[in-house]
């Protein structure tokens, strides 16, 4: 029968030209990537060092890069806990021999540093290469990435002061990592077969009656933390089965009566018009600081990489031309006034710069 022959022919075509057939299943959609395009984006480095570009960088060079581009967030010795979890600390020379970080068993040790967790050195290289420095990722040269990796490993005592890390010796460094033997894939949470199929580790039963013993309270928030997440009355719907608890008041001060007395809060439109206008100006300026990424380095109340907006406001509070001066500084950038980290010139429009500067000059109100 001809239909049989057709099926046979179709099968033969499918087998022989499977790739071709698949590539043309959606004609006009997608194109072959060029080698340069793949090279530009395929930057991942695997634990077996597939993807690692050839090159080298010394601990000494790494220290230079670190102090100019990394230390402001991570601390001179990678120990800072101010913005991110510390990178260095918690590992010992004994760990280098075992490949297991002993302090991971010490519940009293505060936090876990990058080096305590790091099991593959490729990860550290890849992390720095793709995502660091935090505000200018992918800006480091290959030599700088090797150098910063070497410097961090040197801070952790993994490589000596005069070491130069390269694609030729990185496998040896891997064999010295303090936590290289510290990971396991023996769990049931990988939804594939590659690490072996396992049953869930925590097994519970669905008892329905007279199950547990009399329940006892083991933990709850202490009263002093009652307001730590703000007033919960303002975080719940003002209509419905429940209200939010007014956490500005102590816990046992007749919460139910208080909630009943104010069933629905008055809409906010009743606010004084003048205050509303001022708030709108501040809101617009704050929005601009977010739009132009100022907030990557500055916050309103606290120093990040650069000074707090409030500190800038205070410094220039007495200056009559503060708004014009600050608008100029935003555009030109500067260094030395607030510490060693320079602020780059900002490419934003005059109108936006003036609005932000005006807001700063008026005290950087929220």
Partner 1 sequence: MNTPGRLTRAPENFLDAAQIAEVQAGRRGFLRAAFAAAAGVAAAAPWNAAAQQGAGDPAILELPEHSKGLGQPVAARPYGMPSQYEKNLQRRESPGLTRVGASSVSFAPLQGLFGIITPNGLHFERHHQGWWDVDPSGHRLMINGSDDKIVKRPLVFTMDELMRLPSVSRFHFIECGANTGMEWGNVAVPTCQYSHGMLSCSEFTGVPLKILLDMAGVDYRRGRFVLGEGADGSSMTRTVPMELVESGEVIVAYGQNGEMLRPENGYPLRLVVPGVQGVSWVKYLRRIEVGDKPYGSKDETIHYVELMPGGLHRQYASLQECKSVITTPSGGQVLLDQGFYNISGLAWSGRGKVRRVDVSVDGGRNWRTARLESPVLSKCLTRFNLDWVWDGKPTLVQSRAIDETGYVQPTYKQLRAVRGTRSIYHNNAIQTWLVQESGEVKNVQLS
Of the two residues 255 and 324, which places its CB atom closer to partner 1 in the complex? 255
Q: Kindly state whether residue 154 participates in binding partner 1, applying the rule CB under 8 A.
A: no
By the 8 A CB rule, do 309 and 300 touch?
yes
Of the two residues 141 and 236, which places its CB atom closer to partner 1 in the complex? 236
C-alpha radius of gyration, the chain, whole number? 30
* Ramachandran assignment for 169, one of left (phi > 0), alpha (psi -120 to 50 degrees), beta (any other): alpha
Instruction: Report how far residue 312's alpha carbon sits from residue 150's, in angstroms, rounded to the nearest whole number.
Output: 37
For residue 29, which phi and psi values (nearest 5 degrees)?
A: -115, 120
Q: DSSP H helical segments within 254-349, as ranges?
A: 255-261, 273-291, 309-315, 322-332
CB of 335 to partner 1, least distance (A): 22
Instruction: Among 6, 12, 13, 83, indicate the residue that binds partner 1 (CB under 8 A).
Output: 83
Of the two residues 50 and 274, which places its CB atom closer to partner 1 in the complex? 50
Instruction: Among 235, 317, 321, 366, indicate the residue that binds partner 1 (CB under 8 A).
Output: 235
Instruction: Among 92, 123, 166, 174, indicate the residue that binds partner 1 (CB under 8 A).
Output: 123
CB of 79 to partner 1, least distance (A): 15
Instruction: Among 10, 16, 138, 342, indicate the residue that binds partner 1 (CB under 8 A).
Output: 138
* Ramachandran assignment for 293, one of left (phi > 0), alpha (psi -120 to 50 degrees), beta (any other): left
Q: Kindly state whether residue 247 participates in binding partner 1, applying the rule CB under 8 A.
A: yes
Q: Is the peptide bond before 141 cis (omega within 30 degrees of 0)?
A: no
HSE-CB at 356 with a 13 A cutoff on CA atoms is 27
Closest CA to 354 of 299, 281, 271, 249: 281
Q: What residues numbered 200-229 form the site for partner 1, per CB under 8 A? A: 200-212, 214-222, 224-226, 228-229
Q: Which residues partner with 303 through β-bridges?
A: 298
Q: Kindly state whether residue 84 participates in binding partner 1, applying the rule CB under 8 A.
A: yes
Q: What residues numbered 184-203 form the site for partner 1, per CB under 8 A? A: 184-185, 187-195, 200-203
Q: Which residues partner with 164 through β-bridges?
A: 58
CB of 316 to partner 1, least distance (A): 25
Give kind and range of the element (H or E) at residue 166.
strand 164-166
CB of 260 to partner 1, least distance (A): 4
What DSSP line would sit under 321-333, residue for residue?
A: THHHHHHHHHHH-
Residues shown for the chain: 366
DSSP three-state, residue 214 = coil
Instruction: Among 130, 168, 198, 319, indicate the residue that binds partner 1 (CB under 8 A).
Output: 130
Tell me which DSSP letter residue 306 carries.
S
Residue whose pair of structure tokens reads 């009399």 in the numeric block: 214
CB of 298 to partner 1, least distance (A): 11
DSSP three-state, residue 75 = coil
Instruction: Among 12, 76, 239, 280, indicate the residue that binds partner 1 (CB under 8 A).
Output: 239
Of the two residues 112 and 315, which places its CB atom closer to partner 1 in the complex? 112
What is the contact mask toward partner 1 in residues 2 to 41, using x (rule: CB under 8 A)?
A: ----------------xx--xx-xx-xxxxxx---xx--x
Identify which range of 6-14, 148-156, 251-259, 338-346 contacts partner 1 by CB under 8 A: 251-259
Size of the site for partner 1 (CB under 8 A): 122
Q: What residues numbered 256-315 form the site for partner 1, per CB under 8 A? A: 256-257, 259-260, 263-264, 267-269, 293, 295-296, 299, 304
Identify which range of 3-11, 60-68, 104-112, 276-284 contacts partner 1 by CB under 8 A: 104-112
């Amino acid at each position: 029968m001809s239909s049989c022959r057709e099926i046979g022919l179709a099968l033969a075509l499918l087998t022989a030209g499977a790739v071709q057939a698949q590539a043309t299943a959606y004609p006009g959609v997608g194109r072959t990537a060029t080698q340069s395009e793949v090279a530009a984006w395929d930057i991942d480095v695997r634990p077996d060092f597939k993807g690692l570009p050839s090159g080298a960088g010394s601990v000494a060079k790494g220290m230079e890069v670190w102090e100019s581009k990394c230390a402001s967030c991570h601390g001179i010795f990678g120990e800072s806990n101010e913005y991110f979890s510390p990178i260095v600390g918690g590992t010992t020379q004994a760990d280098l021999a075992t490949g297991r970080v002993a302090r991971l068993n010490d519940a009293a040790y505060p936090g876990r540093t990058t080096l305590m967790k790091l099991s593959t050195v490729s990860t550290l290289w890849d992390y720095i290469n793709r995502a660091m420095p935090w505000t200018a990722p992918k800006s480091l040269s290959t030599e700088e990435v090797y150098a910063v990796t070497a410097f961090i490993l040197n801070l952790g005592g993994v490589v000596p002061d005069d070491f130069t890390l390269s694609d030729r010796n990185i496998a040896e460094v891997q064999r010295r990592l303090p936590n290289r033997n510290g990971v396991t894939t023996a769990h049931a949470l990988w939804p594939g077969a590659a690490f072996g199929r396992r049953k869930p580790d925590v097994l519970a039963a669905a008892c329905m009656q007279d199950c547990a013993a009399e329940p006892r309270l083991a933990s709850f928030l202490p009263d002093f933390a009652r307001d730590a997440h703000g007033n919960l009355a303002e975080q719940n719907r003002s209509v419905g089965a429940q209200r939010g608890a007014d956490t500005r008041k102590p816990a046992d001060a007749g919460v139910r009566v208080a909630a009943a007395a104010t069933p629905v809060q008055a809409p906010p439109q009743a606010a004084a018009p003048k205050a509303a206008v001022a708030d709108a100006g501040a809101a617009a300026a704050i929005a601009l600081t977010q739009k132009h990424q100022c907030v990557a380095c500055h916050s309103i109340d606290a120093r990040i990489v650069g000074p707090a907006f409030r500190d800038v406001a205070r410094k220039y509070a007495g200056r009559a031309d503060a708004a014009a001066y600050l608008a100029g500084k935003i555009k030109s950038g500067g260094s030395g006034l607030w510490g060693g980290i320079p602020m780059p010139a900002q490419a934003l429009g005059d109108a936006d710069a003036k609005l932000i500067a005006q807001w700063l000059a008026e005290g950087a109100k929220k």
